[in-house]
Amino acid sequence: MFIPYFYSMTTIALYNLKGGVGKTTAAINLAYLSAKEKTNTLLWDLDPQGSASFYLGVDASVKNESKKLLKHNIELDDSIQSSAYPHLYVIPADLSARQADILLSEGKQSKKRLANLLAPLKKQFKTVIIDSPPGISLLQENIFNAADWVLMPNIPSTLSIRSFETVISYVKQAGFNTETFKGFFNMVDSRKNLHQQTINFFAHNPHFLKQHIPYLSDVEKMGINESPLETFAANSHAAQCFRDLWLEIKKIMHG
């Protein structure tokens, strides 16, 4: 696929050790906001569930495409598909992505395979957003090596914060730069005292962004509409929160 060239690329991974924290909805909305700025944006769906691909109406073009990509049987560029939105492109996932750890362990530079796959695209895209499955394994290490920034949505609850702290401890021991790992609170219920107390407690933590995303029905309706918030609820509070979050992310990316 021919795509007009840019001069640099920033890769952002949406990740958490836990599932069910809103990684995919964040990835879709942030990717859309990036593309809305008329900059070529690639969303790479690496979750075997393929939820990001579903939301954007894109299916794998060949059987077991994720497996073939990781085995280098097909080129990454050949898997890039246009979405329904200008400047937003997608590498869709399928169930074969569940074999990612096995596939990545085969061959050389097993921890940098994704970074090497993305390298040829660095002049075609300004932003790459990776929707990562939960867990800590060889796939996640690949994602950490490939990403300039790792964004971790967290529900403001005890177990969610515990998983965040576990990840920060792990990446520090593994030698990654913890300053590039940033958490933000997602699915926030303002009616719950625990949520408010947790947000206040982490208000000055350098690992957490200031903006948070509320738990509102408009976000849930993304599944019904199969599209980003901006396309059907641009005037909603949730959409505004994602815009504010994207602005904060761009500020930290550009120093």
239 part of a folded domain: yes
Range of the domain at 30: 10-253
146 part of a folded domain: yes
194 part of a folded domain: yes
User: What is the per-residue pLDDT across 157-208, written as a single tens digit (0 to 9) for each?
Assistant: 888 888 889 999 999 999 999 999 999 999 999 899 999 999 998 888 999 9
Token pair 């008329």: residue = 38
183 part of a folded domain: yes
Residue 7 has pLDDT above 70, yes or no: no
* C-alpha distance from residue 157 to each of 70, 183, 195 (Å): 35, 13, 7
4 part of a folded domain: no
Structure tokens at 252: 């930290």
249 part of a folded domain: yes
240 part of a folded domain: yes
- Assign residue 240 the CATH number of its domain: 3.40.50.300
29 part of a folded domain: yes
User: What is the per-residue pLDDT across 207-243, written as a single tens digit (0 to 9) for each?
Assistant: 999 999 999 999 999 989 999 999 999 999 999 999 9
What's the structural domain count of the chain? 1
User: What is the per-residue pLDDT across 71-96, written as a single tens digit (0 to 9) for each?
Assistant: 776 778 888 999 999 999 999 988 77
* Cα four-point dihedral sign 87, 88, 91, 92: negative
